[in-house]
């Protein structure tokens, strides 16, 4: 595993690392104060979140769905310049797909290995349609469930996954982020410690395909009206040229004005 990229890294460096390995870790992109503030806010939200309903979600794991309806603490993270630069390069035009907070509880076994873009019935292989960013709000370690990844798996031509493929744990301190495309094989690690591990996935998809989560319905319009235009667009108030996503022949953001 190569050394992580520094917080001062460039979009080109991140994209090159992703192209080479299938992932790029950037250490401490968020400062300690911002990281602690976000963690505290998410822990308040998690207090009312039930444990997972199946093995994929994790029976000992809590997941915050519909994140942008429940907290404003991630707004700035979602439009971080480095993140948007990477998305501009890989996807071009994009929106949120499935942003979710994930708190892996003590004793949770490892998640199955999977591709994030497998939900789309596209021929394999195909151009990237999903880019994920996993943000650490606790230190990610091999012991507490750091994301596990199969390096180079974004270049595989077969879609089927052998669950015995060798993986590496993407260890990183709190405030760090790892970028990876939807084609790479990965999964949450096992938490063998006595403390939970908190991370947030901000997943983005190409603007021409349906996102996993329906944010236009999920996030109340009176909340969306208060947000910056870029966040409104990421939540689905956008048009993929020339007119995909229009409402009555008009840009959907116009309807936020009533």
Q: Which two tokens stand for residue 50?
A: 């039930």
Tens of pLDDT, residue by residue over 167-212, are: 999 999 999 999 999 999 999 999 999 999 999 999 999 999 999 9
Q: What is the mean pLDDT of residues 68-87?
A: 98
| pLDDT of 218 strictly over 70 | yes
Tens of pLDDT, residue by residue over 7-57, are: 999 999 999 999 999 999 999 999 999 999 999 999 999 999 999 999 989
Q: What is the pLDDT of residue 83?
A: 98
Tens of pLDDT, residue by residue over 222-239, are: 999 999 999 999 999 999
Q: What is the pLDDT of residue 217?
A: 96
Count Cα neighbours of 27 within 13 Å in the Cβ-side half-sphere.
9
CA distance 39 to 136: 9
> What is the dihedral sign for C-alpha 162, 163, 168, 173?
positive
> By three-state DSSP, how is residue 2 classified?
coil
Q: What is the pLDDT of residue 64?
A: 98
Q: What is the mean pLDDT of residues 122-148?
A: 96
Q: What is the pLDDT of residue 258?
A: 66
Between strands 94-96 and 100-104, the pairing is: unpaired
The CATH superfamily holding the domain 11-213 is q2cbj1_9rhob like domain (2.60.120.620)
| pLDDT of 248 strictly over 80 | yes
In degrees and rounded to multiples of 5, residue 143 shows phi and psi of: -80, -30
Q: What is the pLDDT of residue 107?
A: 96
Residue 228 DSSP one-character state: -
> What is the dihedral sign for C-alpha 158, 108, 22, 152?
negative
CA distance 206 to 160: 23
Domain ranges of the chain: 11-213, 218-258
pTM score: 0.96
Q: Which two tokens stand for residue 155?
A: 């270049």
Give me the chain's average pLDDT, please.
96
| pLDDT of 159 strictly over 90 | no
Q: What is the mean pLDDT of residues 144-169?
A: 93
Q: Is 95 exposed, middle or buried, given 0-12, 13-18 or 19+ CB atoms closer than 10 A?
A: buried
């Amino acid at each position: 595993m190569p050394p992580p990229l520094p917080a001062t890294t460039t979009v080109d460096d991140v994209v090159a690392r992703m192209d080479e390995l299938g992932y790029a870790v950037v250490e401490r992109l968020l400062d300690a104060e911002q990281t602690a503030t976000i963690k505290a806010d998410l822990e308040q939200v998690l207090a009312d979140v039930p444990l997972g309903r199946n093995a994929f979600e994790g029976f000992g794991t809590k997941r915050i769905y519909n994140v942008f309806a429940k907290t404003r603490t991630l707004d700035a993270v979602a439009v971080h310049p480095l993140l948007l630069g990477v998305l501009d390069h890989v996807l071009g035009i994009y929106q949120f797909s499935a942003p979710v907070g994930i708190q892996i509880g003590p004793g949770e076994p490892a998640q199955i290995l999977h591709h994030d873009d497998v939900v789309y019935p596209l021929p394999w292989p195909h151009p990237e349609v999903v880019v994920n960013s996993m943000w650490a709000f606790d230190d990610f370690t091999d012991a507490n469930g750091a994301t596990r990844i199969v390096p180079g798996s974004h270049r595989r031509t077969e879609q089927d996954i052998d669950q015995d493929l060798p993986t590496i744990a993407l260890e990183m301190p709190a405030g760090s982020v790892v970028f990876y495309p939807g084609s790479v094989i990965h999964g949450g690690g096992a938490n063998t410690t006595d403390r939970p591990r908190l991370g947030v996935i901000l997943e983005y998809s190409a603007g021409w395909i349906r996102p996993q989560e329906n944010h236009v319905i999920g996030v109340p319009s009176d909340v969306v009206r208060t947000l910056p235009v870029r966040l409104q667009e990421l939540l689905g108030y956008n048009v993929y040229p020339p007119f995909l996503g229009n409402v009555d022949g008009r840009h959907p953001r116009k309807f936020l004005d009533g």
